[in-house]
Chains A and B, each alone.
Chain A
Amino acid sequence: MTGPRRLEDVAVLGVGMTRFGVFPERSNADLAREAGLAALADANVSFRDVGEAFVGYIFGGAMTGIRAMKEFGLTGLPATHVENASATGLVAFRDAVWAVASGRCEIAMALGFDRMSAARSEGGRGQGRDSIDGVILPAAYFALWAMRRMHERGTRPEHFARIAAKNWNHGALNPQSDRQPDHRVTPEEVLASRKIAEPLTAMMGCPVDDGAACAIVGSRALARRLRPGRPVVSVLASVLQTETWTPGHTFLGPVVGPASMSRDTARAAYEQAGLGPADVSVAYCHDAFANEELEYYELLGFCAEGDAEKLVEEGATELGGRIPFNSDGGLIARGHPGGPTGLAQIHEAALQLRGEAGPRQVPGARTALAHLVGGGSVCTVSLLARDVA
Chain B
Amino acid sequence: MKVPIETGYFTIPEDPAEKPRLLGTRCRSCGEHFFPRRVVCARCLDQEMEAVPLGPHGTLHTWTYVHFPLFGTKRADHGGYAVGQIDLPEGPRVQSVLSGGPDAFRIGMPMELELETLRENREGQEVVIFRFRPEAA
Q: Mark A122-151, 1 if CB is under 8 A from B, else 0.
A: 000000011111111101110111111001
A260 within 8 A of B: no
Q: A250-B85, A251-B35, A251-B36 are known contacts. Are A137 and B71 too (CB-CB below 8 A)?
A: yes
- Interface stretch (choices A195-203, A215-223, A262-270, A358-366): A195-203
* A130 and B42 within 8 A (CB): no
Residues of A within 8 A of B97 (CB): 135-136
Residues of B within 8 A of A187 (CB): none
Q: Mark A90-116, 1 if CB is under 8 A from B, else 0.
A: 000000000000000000000000000
- Interface stretch (choices B11-19, B48-56, B86-94): B86-94
Tally chain B residues at the interface, Cβ within 8 Å. Answer: 36
Residues of A within 8 A of B65 (CB): 197-198
Give the residues from 69 to 104 in chain B that come closer than 8 angstroms, CB to CB, to chain A: 70-73, 83-85, 87, 91-97, 102
> Given A129, A146, A250, which contacts B95 in the complex, CB threshold below 8 Å?
A250
* A144 and B62 within 8 A (CB): yes
Least CB distance from A16 to B in Å reads 36
B6 within 8 A of A: yes
* A144 and B70 within 8 A (CB): no
Residues of B within 8 A of A199 (CB): 64
Least CB distance from A333 to B in Å reads 22
Residues of A within 8 A of B91 (CB): 247-248
Residues of B within 8 A of A141 (CB): 95
A338 within 8 A of B: no
* A147 and B64 within 8 A (CB): yes
Residues of B within 8 A of A249 (CB): 42, 93
Least CB distance from B49 to A in Å reads 14
* B6 and A132 within 8 A (CB): yes
Q: Which residue of B lies closest to A130 (CB)?
A: B5
> Given B6, B38, B107, which contacts A151 in the complex, CB threshold below 8 Å?
B107
Residues of A within 8 A of B62 (CB): 144-145, 147-148, 151
Residues of A within 8 A of B68 (CB): 137, 196
What are 6 A-B pairs at a CB distance below 8 A?
A130-B72, A135-B97, A194-B67, A197-B64, A248-B87, A250-B85
For the complex of A and B, the 9 pairs showing the least CB-CB separation, nearest first, are A253-B95, A143-B64, A148-B62, A197-B66, A132-B6, A248-B93, A140-B83, A129-B72, A197-B64
Which residues on B are within 8 Å of A, measured CB to CB? 5-6, 9, 34-36, 38, 42-43, 61-68, 70-73, 83-85, 87, 91-97, 102, 107, 118, 129
